[in-house]
Structure 1
Amino acid sequence: MPNIRQLDPSASPLDYFGSELRRLREAAGLRQGELGDVIFCTGSLIGQIETAHKVPTRDFAERIDAALLTGGAFSRLVGLVLRSQLPTWFQAYAEMEARAAYISTYQCQLVHGLLQTEAYARAVLGVDHTDRLDEMVAARTERQRILKREQPPVLYAVLDEAVLYRQIGGREVMREQLGHLLGLLGQPWTQLQVLPFSAGEHAGMMGSFNLLRFEGDPDIHYNESYDSGHMTANPQVIRERSLGYARLQAEALSPRESAALIARLMEERHGEQPGSDACAVA
């Protein structure tokens, strides 16, 4: 018997998605299994999503839109659903990040979330979120969609050289991640630099941080600890961190030198010679 748990559509974006899916499926005169056959999934999956026991993917939402002729309603809604899967303390920052015109980030431990491959993100998030890993990875992938917009934010990223050496997820995962970073060096709205070990003491020694700039709104500085994040628009903090970030960029390798370093590490540590396109960038 299908699960007929009643949802409160106002409880969360996930509950609203599930209730709308059930309403429109029933309006179309389809059972869960019949709709599953149409979009190439099981009726059980349809039931789990309708009862908010499972989080839909963007691909699922797009297939539902096509099957039920919703005009893209679920594709628009799924972004809110996936964002709601982010840690509560991080959601406010993610909303601001999605609105930013310029994002400047310094990362001393890990590749920034916007630049992670799915496998790298899965390895990172799997340390603390084994019970909700699929949902967390899907939420992180959804965040990255801002870089694929028609007008994406300008992204400046400075990665400490240690980030390239830390073997997250194993050799294959790191090989793929380094290749992804190398490919980003050719993107017109992304500037990636590596801060080398030879820089010694530098302006980012207190840890990773982000600066967000907006069209018409105050800039924001963001940093986080283990289970919380802190945003501020304090003008003095913005002034100091903006100067600090400019110093990091000045001390970092140029984008071309950074590409050469990443390509060398791919060959030396992971046994792969980057393709001709990557070499051209470097």
Structure 2
Amino acid sequence: MTNINVLDPGASPLDYYGFELRRLREAAGLTQRQLGEIVNYTGSLVGQIETARKLPTPEFSERVDAALGAEGLLSRLVVLVMRSQLPAWFQQVAELQARATEIYSFEMGMVPGLLQTRGYASAVLGALDDADLDDRTAVRLDRQRILDKGEPPLYWVVLFEAALYLEIDAPETMREQLAHLLSFERNPLVNVQVLPFKAGAHAGMTGSFDVYRFASDPTIVYTEGYGSAHPTANPETVKDCSRRYDHLQAAALSLKDSADLIRRVMEDRYGDQVA
């Protein structure tokens, strides 16, 4: 157990967050229990966050900032905390996603992380390892905040139909996940096309990939291996993958037909009805 008296604020963003939380709380003359009561969390949770044994959430940070008059300090710090908790090999990718003005994703087997629900993400992350699963799930979901920022990127996904049928966790989890995809139906900045089985051989047979475009930096193509990220700005690779993506979009169902298919699979396979 971490001893709060020797917590080193320079050890990590999580330790720095805990140090600042304790400093702000003590300056306000509050115990952990008293602060917890004010922000509607347990004093035990406040203590765990202060000692870097538990990840703070954006919601917790906003409430404590308001309660202690911290002027958004913890809300700013929690962004760094969440990013620092990503696997080292993925941190560069998260930075690319955060800076991109346009993101184009092709996914062969599952819903991409930026569109996953909590239940779906937890099931994917916990398939072989359930250690710290709640925290790892929270970190993944936190990346989705880029879709809600003041100037969010255009996010376009071509999703192979198999991802709709691969039953991640329980039917209820899949119902929630497919309903979440449908929730973007009228959002012009988040577009989901389904590449149907009937498309046959297609331009994405070699696997999933992302294309990140930026306001002033070169376009990046990202592919992923086992526990490793492979971003590249090689012009030939970017040209090839951009061409492949154009073909995938052309072979995929329209946005409306994609939504209709997602709705049909959700109703027929997972037993839910959507108005």
Question: How far is 1:259 from its partner?
Answer: 1.0
Q: Counterparts of 1:25 and 1:178 in 2: how far apart (Å)?
A: 42
Per the alignment, in what secondary structure is the counterpart of residue 130 of structure 1? coil
1:129-169 CA distance string (max 9 Å, x none): 41121111111111101111221100110000000000001
Paired residues of 1:120 and 1:174 also in contact (CA < 8 A): yes
> Pairwise mapping of residues 104-123 of structure 1 onto structure 2 (< 5 A)?
104-123=104-123
Q: Give, as a single letter, the amino acid of the residue that structure 2 aligns with 1:225.
A: G
Higher alpha-carbon deviation: 77-86 or 211-220: 77-86
Q: Aligned AA for 2:138? A: A
Paired with 2:273 and 2:64, the residues of 1 have a C-alpha distance of: 41
Distance, in Å, in 1 between the alignment partners of 2:180 and 2:241 is: 28
Pairwise CA distance, 1:255: 0.6
Which residue in the other structure is 1:83 paired with?
Answer: 83
Alignment of 1:1-282 (within 5 A): 4-275=4-275
CA contact (8 A) 1:82 1:135 kept: no
The 3-state SS of whatever aligns with 1:192 is strand
- Counterparts of 2:55 and 2:107, CA distance in 1: 30
Q: CA contact under 8 A between 1:5 and 1:51: conserved in structure 2?
A: no
1 CA distance for matches of 2:58 and 2:4?
24
Asked whether the equivalents of residues 94 and 143 of structure 1 are also in contact (C-alpha less than 8 Å), the reply is yes
AA aligned to 2:88 is T
Unaligned stretches of 5+ in structure 2?
Answer: none
Q: What is the one-letter code of the residue matched to 1:125?
A: L
Amino acid at match of 1:151: E
Q: Is the 8 A contact 1:57 1:78 kept in 2?
A: yes
Counterpart AA for 1:153: P
CA-atom RMSD in angstroms:
1.3
Question: 1 CA distance for matches of 2:28 and 2:183?
Answer: 44
The 2-side partners of 1:44 and 1:244 are apart by 52
Residue 227 of structure 2 aligns to a residue whose secondary structure is coil
Aligned residue in 2 for 1:278: none
- Letter matched to residue 109 of structure 1: G
Whole-Å Cα distance in 1 between the matches of residues 65 and 27 of structure 2? 14
Residues 6, 51 of structure 1: 8 Å contact kept = no
Asked if 2 retains the 8 angstrom alpha-carbon contact of 1:10 and 1:16, the reply is: yes
Deviation string 1:97-121 (CA, Å, 9 cap, x unpaired) is 0110000000001101111111111
SS in 1 for 2:4: coil
How many residue pairs get matched? 274
**Is the CA contact (8 Å cut-off) linking 1:85 and 1:139 kept in structure 2?**
yes
Partner of 2:159: helix, strand, or coil? strand
Shift of 1:3: 5.0
Residues 97, 191 of structure 1: CA spacing in aligned structure 2 closer, same or farther, 3 A cutoff? same
TM-score when scaled to structure 2? 0.96
Question: Residue 131 of structure 2: SS of its match in structure 1?
Answer: helix
Distance 1:18 1:4 in 2: 9
Q: Separation in 2 of the partners of 1:273 and 1:85?
A: 37
Percent identity for Structure 1 against Structure 2? 56
Deviations along 1:183-229, one digit per CA (max 9) or x if unpaired, are 21211112210001111111111111100000000000111112111
- Is the 1:101–1:152 contact (alpha carbons within 8 Å) kept by the matching residues of 2? yes
Letter in 2 for 1:57: T
Would the aligned equivalents of 1:129 and 1:136 in 2 still touch at CA under 8 Å?
no
Q: Aligned-pair distance for 1:91?
A: 0.7
Q: Distance in 2 between matches of 1:13 and 1:201?
A: 46
Q: Displacement of 1:66 after TM fit?
A: 1.3
Distance in 2 between the 1:272 and 1:76 partners?
39
